[in-house]
Protein backbone atom coordinates (compact mmCIF):
# COMPACT_ATOMS: atom_id res chain seq x y z
CA UNK A 1 0.00 0.00 0.00
CA UNK A 2 2.82 2.42 0.76
CA UNK A 3 3.87 4.59 3.67
CA UNK A 4 2.56 7.70 5.36
CA UNK A 5 4.15 11.11 5.45
CA UNK A 6 2.87 14.42 6.69
CA UNK A 7 2.55 17.46 4.43
CA UNK A 8 0.79 20.76 5.16
CA UNK A 9 -1.04 19.33 8.15
CA UNK A 10 -2.45 16.36 6.20
CA UNK A 11 -1.24 12.80 5.91
CA UNK A 12 -0.40 11.38 2.52
CA UNK A 13 -1.38 7.74 2.64
CA UNK A 14 0.67 7.01 -0.52
CA UNK A 15 -1.73 4.42 -1.84
CA UNK A 16 -0.05 2.71 -4.73
CA UNK A 17 -2.89 0.58 -6.11
CA UNK A 18 -6.57 1.50 -6.14
CA UNK A 19 -9.54 2.25 -8.39
CA UNK A 20 -11.06 5.66 -9.04
CA UNK A 21 -14.51 6.29 -10.49
CA UNK A 22 -16.05 9.25 -12.31
CA UNK A 23 -19.84 8.87 -12.29
CA UNK A 24 -21.14 11.20 -14.98
CA UNK A 25 -24.54 11.92 -16.44
CA UNK A 26 -23.93 9.90 -19.61
CA UNK A 27 -21.07 7.51 -18.72
CA UNK A 28 -19.36 5.98 -15.72
CA UNK A 29 -15.57 5.86 -16.02
CA UNK A 30 -13.25 3.62 -14.00
CA UNK A 31 -9.47 3.80 -13.70
CA UNK A 32 -7.12 1.32 -12.05
CA UNK A 33 -3.91 2.79 -10.69
CA UNK A 34 -0.74 0.89 -9.87
CA UNK A 35 2.51 2.31 -8.48
CA UNK A 36 0.86 5.73 -8.33
CA UNK A 37 3.26 8.66 -8.00
CA UNK A 38 1.79 11.75 -6.34
CA UNK A 39 4.32 14.19 -7.76
CA UNK A 40 3.50 13.16 -11.34
CA UNK A 41 -0.23 12.43 -10.94
CA UNK A 42 0.45 9.33 -13.00
CA UNK A 43 -2.39 8.11 -15.27
CA UNK A 44 -4.33 4.88 -14.74
CA UNK A 45 -2.84 1.69 -16.12
CA UNK A 46 -6.25 0.46 -17.24
CA UNK A 47 -9.68 2.04 -17.78
CA UNK A 48 -13.23 0.88 -18.32
CA UNK A 49 -16.54 2.66 -18.88
CA UNK A 50 -20.20 2.03 -19.58
CA UNK A 51 -23.28 4.19 -20.20
CA UNK A 52 -24.83 5.51 -16.99
CA UNK A 53 -28.24 4.39 -18.23
CA UNK A 54 -27.25 0.73 -18.68
CA UNK A 55 -24.98 -0.59 -15.93
CA UNK A 56 -22.57 -3.21 -17.29
CA UNK A 57 -21.82 -5.20 -14.15
CA UNK A 58 -20.68 -8.24 -16.15
CA UNK A 59 -18.15 -6.15 -18.06
CA UNK A 60 -17.05 -4.41 -14.88
CA UNK A 61 -16.40 -7.70 -13.10
CA UNK A 62 -14.37 -8.93 -16.07
CA UNK A 63 -12.28 -5.72 -16.00
CA UNK A 64 -11.48 -5.87 -12.28
CA UNK A 65 -8.11 -7.21 -11.26
CA UNK A 66 -7.93 -10.26 -9.03
CA UNK A 67 -6.34 -8.19 -6.29
CA UNK A 68 -8.88 -6.58 -3.93
CA UNK A 69 -8.51 -2.78 -4.03
CA UNK A 70 -10.10 0.29 -2.43
CA UNK A 71 -12.37 2.46 -4.60
CA UNK A 72 -12.72 6.25 -4.58
CA UNK A 73 -15.35 8.13 -6.55
CA UNK A 74 -16.81 11.47 -7.54
CA UNK A 75 -20.31 11.68 -8.92
CA UNK A 76 -22.88 14.00 -10.49
CA UNK A 77 -25.47 11.20 -10.80
CA UNK A 78 -26.82 10.07 -7.44
CA UNK A 79 -28.76 6.94 -8.57
CA UNK A 80 -25.74 5.57 -10.46
CA UNK A 81 -23.50 6.27 -7.44
CA UNK A 82 -25.94 4.44 -5.15
CA UNK A 83 -25.90 1.47 -7.53
CA UNK A 84 -22.10 1.33 -7.40
CA UNK A 85 -22.07 1.58 -3.61
CA UNK A 86 -24.45 -1.38 -3.45
CA UNK A 87 -22.19 -3.30 -5.86
CA UNK A 88 -19.14 -2.56 -3.71
CA UNK A 89 -20.76 -4.28 -0.73
CA UNK A 90 -21.20 -7.59 -2.54
CA UNK A 91 -18.02 -7.62 -4.66
CA UNK A 92 -15.13 -9.07 -2.66
CA UNK A 93 -12.53 -7.34 -4.85
CA UNK A 94 -13.69 -3.94 -3.55
CA UNK A 95 -12.17 -3.50 -0.10
CA UNK A 96 -13.78 -0.10 0.56
CA UNK A 97 -15.80 2.53 -1.27
CA UNK A 98 -15.59 6.28 -0.62
CA UNK A 99 -17.34 9.05 -2.54
CA UNK A 100 -15.69 12.46 -2.36
CA UNK A 101 -17.54 15.75 -2.01
CA UNK A 102 -15.92 19.15 -2.19
CA UNK A 103 -14.75 18.90 1.42
CA UNK A 104 -12.63 15.82 0.66
CA UNK A 105 -11.05 17.20 -2.50
CA UNK A 106 -7.70 18.94 -1.86
CA UNK A 107 -8.41 22.30 -3.45
CA UNK A 108 -9.68 25.57 -2.03
CA UNK A 109 -12.97 26.63 -3.60
CA UNK A 110 -13.38 30.38 -3.86
CA UNK A 111 -17.16 30.32 -4.30
CA UNK A 112 -20.07 31.15 -2.02
CA UNK A 113 -21.70 27.71 -2.47
CA UNK A 114 -18.92 25.16 -3.04
CA UNK A 115 -21.29 22.26 -2.35
CA UNK A 116 -23.13 23.07 -5.59
CA UNK A 117 -20.06 22.69 -7.82
CA UNK A 118 -19.87 19.37 -9.64
CA UNK A 119 -17.35 17.12 -7.94
CA UNK A 120 -16.01 16.10 -11.35
CA UNK A 121 -15.12 19.72 -12.13
CA UNK A 122 -13.29 20.03 -8.82
CA UNK A 123 -11.45 16.73 -9.32
CA UNK A 124 -10.22 17.88 -12.74
CA UNK A 125 -9.05 21.12 -11.11
CA UNK A 126 -7.19 19.12 -8.44
CA UNK A 127 -5.24 17.32 -11.17
CA UNK A 128 -4.55 20.53 -13.09
CA UNK A 129 -3.44 22.19 -9.86
CA UNK A 130 -0.88 19.44 -9.38
CA UNK A 131 0.36 19.57 -12.98
CA UNK A 132 0.51 23.34 -13.51
CA UNK A 133 3.71 25.33 -13.14
CA UNK A 134 4.10 27.09 -9.81
CA UNK A 135 2.87 30.66 -9.96
CA UNK A 136 0.82 30.17 -13.14
CA UNK A 137 -2.97 29.98 -13.14
CA UNK A 138 -4.74 27.28 -15.12
CA UNK A 139 -7.78 26.93 -17.35
CA UNK A 140 -9.27 23.44 -17.27
CA UNK A 141 -11.43 22.25 -20.18
CA UNK A 142 -13.38 19.00 -19.96
CA UNK A 143 -15.21 18.20 -23.20
CA UNK A 144 -17.94 15.58 -22.98
CA UNK A 145 -21.72 15.55 -22.52
CA UNK A 146 -21.21 19.06 -21.20
CA UNK A 147 -18.15 21.18 -21.86
CA UNK A 148 -16.76 22.89 -18.81
CA UNK A 149 -14.16 25.64 -18.86
CA UNK A 150 -12.91 26.28 -15.32
CA UNK A 151 -10.37 28.62 -13.75
CA UNK A 152 -7.70 27.89 -11.15
CA UNK A 153 -5.88 30.91 -9.75
CA UNK A 154 -2.11 31.27 -9.52
CA UNK A 155 -2.51 30.51 -5.80
CA UNK A 156 -4.27 27.22 -6.57
CA UNK A 157 -7.86 28.23 -5.81
CA UNK A 158 -10.84 27.01 -7.87
CA UNK A 159 -12.52 30.20 -9.09
CA UNK A 160 -15.51 28.84 -11.04
CA UNK A 161 -15.99 28.80 -14.77
CA UNK A 162 -18.44 28.18 -17.59
CA UNK A 163 -20.64 25.26 -18.61
CA UNK A 164 -21.92 24.77 -22.14
CA UNK A 165 -23.54 21.84 -23.94
CA UNK A 166 -21.38 19.27 -25.66
CA UNK A 167 -21.88 18.53 -29.34
CA UNK A 168 -24.08 15.47 -28.82
CA UNK A 169 -26.18 17.26 -26.20
CA UNK A 170 -26.73 20.15 -28.62
CA UNK A 171 -27.64 17.72 -31.40
CA UNK A 172 -30.26 16.10 -29.17
CA UNK A 173 -31.70 19.50 -28.26
CA UNK A 174 -32.07 20.48 -31.94
CA UNK A 175 -33.90 17.23 -32.68
CA UNK A 176 -36.25 17.37 -29.70
CA UNK A 177 -36.99 21.10 -29.72
CA UNK A 178 -37.78 21.45 -33.42
CA UNK A 179 -40.31 19.84 -35.74
CA UNK A 180 -38.23 19.18 -38.85
CA UNK A 181 -34.62 18.78 -37.75
CA UNK A 182 -33.54 15.13 -37.39
CA UNK A 183 -31.57 13.42 -34.67
CA UNK A 184 -28.10 13.07 -36.15
CA UNK A 185 -24.93 11.28 -35.20
CA UNK A 186 -21.88 13.45 -34.64
CA UNK A 187 -18.87 11.74 -36.19
CA UNK A 188 -16.20 14.15 -35.03
CA UNK A 189 -13.42 11.99 -36.43
CA UNK A 190 -14.10 13.64 -39.79
CA UNK A 191 -13.97 17.41 -39.64
CA UNK A 192 -17.12 18.69 -41.40
CA UNK A 193 -17.08 21.27 -44.17
CA UNK A 194 -18.26 24.67 -43.00
CA UNK A 195 -20.84 24.89 -45.80
CA UNK A 196 -23.26 22.00 -45.46
CA UNK A 197 -25.05 20.99 -48.67
CA UNK A 198 -28.00 19.37 -46.90
CA UNK A 199 -29.69 19.61 -43.50
CA UNK A 200 -27.57 16.94 -41.84
CA UNK A 201 -24.31 18.42 -43.10
CA UNK A 202 -25.44 21.91 -42.03
CA UNK A 203 -26.21 20.63 -38.53
CA UNK A 204 -22.87 18.82 -38.31
CA UNK A 205 -21.05 21.98 -39.37
CA UNK A 206 -22.89 24.18 -36.89
CA UNK A 207 -22.45 21.76 -34.00
CA UNK A 208 -18.75 21.15 -34.62
CA UNK A 209 -17.54 24.62 -35.56
CA UNK A 210 -19.91 26.23 -33.07
CA UNK A 211 -18.31 24.14 -30.31
CA UNK A 212 -14.81 25.02 -31.49
CA UNK A 213 -15.60 28.72 -31.53
CA UNK A 214 -17.50 28.70 -28.24
CA UNK A 215 -14.76 26.83 -26.37
CA UNK A 216 -11.97 28.99 -27.78
CA UNK A 217 -13.75 32.25 -26.96
CA UNK A 218 -14.71 31.03 -23.48
CA UNK A 219 -11.08 30.10 -22.77
CA UNK A 220 -10.00 33.56 -23.91
CA UNK A 221 -12.57 35.30 -21.71
CA UNK A 222 -11.80 33.15 -18.65
CA UNK A 223 -8.07 33.74 -19.11
CA UNK A 224 -8.66 37.47 -19.41
CA UNK A 225 -10.79 37.58 -16.26
CA UNK A 226 -8.15 35.70 -14.27
CA UNK A 227 -6.00 38.75 -14.82
CA UNK A 228 -2.81 37.05 -13.67
CA UNK A 229 0.69 38.32 -14.40
CA UNK A 230 1.53 34.99 -16.05
CA UNK A 231 -0.64 33.55 -18.80
CA UNK A 232 -2.62 30.50 -17.69
CA UNK A 233 -1.76 26.95 -18.63
CA UNK A 234 -4.64 25.40 -20.52
CA UNK A 235 -5.42 21.76 -19.79
CA UNK A 236 -7.79 19.91 -22.12
CA UNK A 237 -9.43 16.58 -21.29
CA UNK A 238 -12.64 14.61 -21.84
CA UNK A 239 -14.16 12.34 -24.45
CA UNK A 240 -14.04 14.91 -27.28
CA UNK A 241 -10.59 16.29 -26.46
CA UNK A 242 -8.85 14.75 -29.47
CA UNK A 243 -11.40 16.26 -31.86
CA UNK A 244 -11.71 19.77 -30.48
CA UNK A 245 -8.19 20.42 -29.19
CA UNK A 246 -6.42 20.48 -32.60
CA UNK A 247 -8.61 23.39 -33.69
CA UNK A 248 -7.83 25.58 -30.70
CA UNK A 249 -5.65 28.49 -31.78
CA UNK A 250 -4.04 28.36 -28.35
CA UNK A 251 -1.16 26.68 -26.56
CA UNK A 252 -2.82 23.78 -24.77
CA UNK A 253 -1.89 20.54 -22.99
CA UNK A 254 -4.08 17.50 -23.51
CA UNK A 255 -4.23 15.27 -20.44
CA UNK A 256 -6.02 11.94 -20.48
CA UNK A 257 -8.33 11.04 -17.57
CA UNK A 258 -7.93 14.33 -15.73
CA UNK A 259 -10.90 13.65 -13.43
CA UNK A 260 -9.74 10.14 -12.55
CA UNK A 261 -6.25 11.47 -11.80
CA UNK A 262 -7.69 14.20 -9.59
CA UNK A 263 -9.63 11.60 -7.61
CA UNK A 264 -6.41 9.58 -7.33
CA UNK A 265 -4.66 12.59 -5.81
CA UNK A 266 -7.53 13.14 -3.39
CA UNK A 267 -7.33 9.48 -2.37
CA UNK A 268 -3.81 10.08 -1.08
CA UNK A 269 -4.92 12.67 1.42
CA UNK A 270 -6.61 11.70 4.65
CA UNK A 271 -6.80 13.40 7.99
CA UNK A 272 -4.81 11.75 10.79
Q: Sort 75 into a burial class: Cβ within 10 Å, 0-12 / 13-18 / 19+.
A: buried
Q: Which residues are part of the catalytic machinery?
A: 120
Radius of gyration in angstroms for the set of CA atoms belonging to the chain, rounded to a whole number: 19
* Residue 28 among known ligand-binding residues: yes
* Residue 196 among known ligand-binding residues: no
Residue in 186, 136, 179 with CA at minimum distance from that of residue 156: 136
* Residue 26 among known ligand-binding residues: yes
CA distance 21 to 99: 9
* Residue 25 among known ligand-binding residues: yes
* Residue 21 among known ligand-binding residues: no
* Residue 220 among known ligand-binding residues: no
* Residue 67 among known ligand-binding residues: no
* Residue 119 among known ligand-binding residues: yes
* Residue 22 among known ligand-binding residues: yes
The SS3 call for residue 72 is strand
* Residue 59 among known ligand-binding residues: no
Residue in 67, 115, 123 with CA at minimum distance from that of residue 95: 67
**Cα atoms in the 13 Å half-sphere on the side-chain side of 53:** 1
User: Do 59 and 85 touch, CB atoms closer than 8 A?
Assistant: no
Residues of each annotated binding site for ATP: 22-29, 145
- Annotated binding-site residues for substrate read 118-121, 199
> Which residues participate in the annotated binding site for K(+)?
142
Which residues make up each annotated binding site? 22-29, 118-121, 142, 145, 199
Amino acid sequence: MGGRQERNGRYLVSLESFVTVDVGNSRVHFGRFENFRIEEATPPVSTFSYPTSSTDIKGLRAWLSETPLPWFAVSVHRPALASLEAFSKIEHRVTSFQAFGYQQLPIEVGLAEPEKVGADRLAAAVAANSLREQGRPAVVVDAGTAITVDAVSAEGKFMGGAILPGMRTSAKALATQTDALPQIEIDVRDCPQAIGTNTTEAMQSGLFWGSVGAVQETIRRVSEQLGAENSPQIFFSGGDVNYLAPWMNLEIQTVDHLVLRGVALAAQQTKP
